[in-house]
């Protein structure tokens, strides 16, 4: 099973008929309730299905890897499911975002080492859930970058968490619009 954007893969009756009859794609709403979409995906994982999830949430306009969302990490930790990182190459050249015509190109996958739920739970032990999801997303991105680049760099969770903590300390405090007006006028 693969989770697929309902607004893209199921947006007209022809695509919907094809996807429903010839693929294992499950439509997920990208707009509206994220909670409902995650609950839908979670129900499939809890029934023992595997899910192919693109952690960026959408295809890149440039072909460069975008920031990873943490929804897949939530799904992995909440359903106690391990993750198999994969790097797909050639997909942008074969079907750039906005294109409806598949171009003949070399497309392939590099498959990484399985990240067991035990490893993910050990990595995130004692963390607030939102930070745990963010850290798992960062680990998977790191593993996929290693696959893309043909490297074997180690993941340094401690340094990354220290950097996040420093960023939170130095992040500008958002003011209410009235307060920012007072701050600039000196009144």
Does residue 141 form part of some domain?
Answer: yes
**pTM of the predicted model, to two decimals?**
0.80
The total domain count for the chain is 1
CB-side exposure of 66: number of CA atoms within 13 Å? Answer: 13
Collapsed DSSP state (helix, strand, coil) of residue 22: helix
* Lowest-pLDDT range of 1-5, 108-112, 138-142, 152-156: 1-5
- Give the model's pLDDT for residue 48: 86
If one compares 41 and 82, the residue with the highest pLDDT of the two is: 82
Distance from the Cα of residue 107 to its chain's centroid: 21
pLDDT above 50 for 181: no
Q: Model confidence at 1, in pLDDT bands (50, 70, 90)? A: low
**Among 28-32, 67-71, 112-116, whose mean pLDDT is lowest?**
28-32
Question: Pick the residue with more confidence: 38 or 138?
Answer: 138
Neighbour count for residue 24 (Cβ, 10 Å) = 11
Q: For 92-136, write each residue's pLDDT tens digit.
A: 888 888 887 888 779 999 999 999 999 999 999 999 999 999 999
Task: Flag whether 48 is in a domain.
Answer: no
Q: Which residues contact 72 (CB under 8 A, 6 or more apart)?
A: 53, 55, 83, 137, 140
Q: Determine, yes or no, domain membership for 37.
A: no
Q: How far apart are CA 99 and CA 92, in angstroms?
A: 10
85, burial (CB in 10 Å: exposed 0-12, middle 13-18, buried 19+)? buried
Q: Give the pLDDT of residue 180.
A: 39
Of the candidates 57, 38, 35, 45, the one whose C-alpha atom is nearest the C-alpha of residue 83 is: 45
The residue among 134 and 5 whose pLDDT is bigger is 134
38: pLDDT strictly greater than 80 = yes
> Residue 8 has what pLDDT?
77
Inside any domain, residue 5: no
Find, among 48, 44, 68, 47, the residue nearest to 56 by Cα: 68
Residue 23 lies in a domain: no
Instruction: Tell me if 99 is assigned to some domain.
Output: yes
Query: Alpha helix (H) ranges present in the chain?
Result: 6-9, 13-22, 34-46, 71-79, 91-94, 117-123, 129-149, 157-170, 177-185
- pLDDT at position 182 over 60: no
In a domain, 10, yes or no: no
| Cα distances (angstroms) measured from residue 140 to each of 105, 119, 143 | 26, 12, 5
* Site of tokens 């995130």: 124
Please state, for a pLDDT cut of 90, what percent of the chain lies above it: 46
Question: Pick from 38, 140, 133, 121: which is nearest to 80 by CA?
Answer: 121
User: Which structural domain range is residue 146 located in?
Assistant: 53-185
Does residue 65 sit within a domain? yes
């Amino acid at each position: 099973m693969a989770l697929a954007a309902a607004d893209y893969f199921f947006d007209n009756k022809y695509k919907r008929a094809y996807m429903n009859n010839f693929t294992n794609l499950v439509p997920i709403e990208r707009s509206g309730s994220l909670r409902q979409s995650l609950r839908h995906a979670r129900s499939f994982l809890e029934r023992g299905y595997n899910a192919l999830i693109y952690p960026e949430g959408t295809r890149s306009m440039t072909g460069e890897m975008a920031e990873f969302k943490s929804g897949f990490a939530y799904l992995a930790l909440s359903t106690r499911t391990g993750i198999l990182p994969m790097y797909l190459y050639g997909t942008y050249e074969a079907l750039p975002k906005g294109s409806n015509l598949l171009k003949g190109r070399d497309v392939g996958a590099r498959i990484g080492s399985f990240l067991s739920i035990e490893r993910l739970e050990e990595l995130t032990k004692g963390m607030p859930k939102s930070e745990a999801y963010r850290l798992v997303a960062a680990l998977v991105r790191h593993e996929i970058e290693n696959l893309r680049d043909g490297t074997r760099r180690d993941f340094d969770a401690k340094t990354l968490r220290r950097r996040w903590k420093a960023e939170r300390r130095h992040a500008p405090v958002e003011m209410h619009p009235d307060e920012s007006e007072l701050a600039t006028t000196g009144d």
